[in-house]
Amino acid sequence: MRIRMAGTGELPLLQDIERAAGECFRGIGMPEIADDDPPRSTSSHRYRRSGLAWVAVDRTDRPVAYLIAEPVDGNLHVEQVSVHPDQARRGVGRALLEHAAARAAADGRPALTLTTFADVPWNAPYYRRCGFQQLDPGTLTPGLRAIRRLEAAHGLDRWPRVCLRRPVRPAR
């Protein structure tokens, strides 16, 4: 699986990947998540311009998954990871997380952070298998608290959410 920067013309494709990946939520009683539109391409452009939007591509160089991130309180915060269901369970998401961890280390950032659903099998339980640990709500940084407030305002707190952190190895 090759990982590269997302191209400008690929941003609509990333929205399609997110929509397809979101359909899994319908089957577990979270249709509101499946029906939620992906962010506008303008926000995706921001991640791409900052060099923090990566795609995993197939043999034809077509994106099948993506990860976008941003610096938050000194760490690299994973804003979104989406893998097309046709590519699920092949290590694509993990490869994107490893890529982000390498970038964080190269930039001198001590950790990856993310927020996710606590009880969805391919969310918090999956990230724990990838080395993330749950943060106590009382220890959240100002940036993570702000992200959680935005998520709550968007209605995501209807289901339990958690903040996770994974230390990264310093670059050599």
How is the chain split into domains, by residue range? 2-167
Residue 47 in contact with residue 24, Cβ under 8 Å? no
pTM for this model (two decimals): 0.92
Q: Which residue has the higher pLDDT, 143 or 39?
A: 143
Cα atoms found within 13 Å of the Cα of residue 122, Cβ hemisphere only: 18
Q: Across the chain, what does the average pLDDT equal?
A: 91
Helix axes 41-49, 11-26, angle to 10 degrees: 120
User: What value does the mean pLDDT take over residues 28-38?
Assistant: 89
Q: How far apart are CA 3 and CA 80, in angstroms?
A: 15
Condensed to tens digits (0 to 9), the pLDDT of residues 82-129 reads 999 998 888 999 999 999 999 999 999 999 999 999 999 999 999 999
Strands 161-167 and 111-117: antiparallel
pLDDT given at position 9: 84
Closest CA to 68 of 5, 145, 157, 146: 5
Homologous superfamily of 2-167: Gcn5-related N-acetyltransferase (GNAT) (3.40.630.30)
Q: What's the pLDDT score for residue 47?
A: 67
Whether residue 42 has pLDDT greater than 50: no
> Comparing 1 with 131, which gets the higher pLDDT?
131
Contact predicate 164/128, CB 8 Å = yes
Does 46 score more than 70 pLDDT?
no
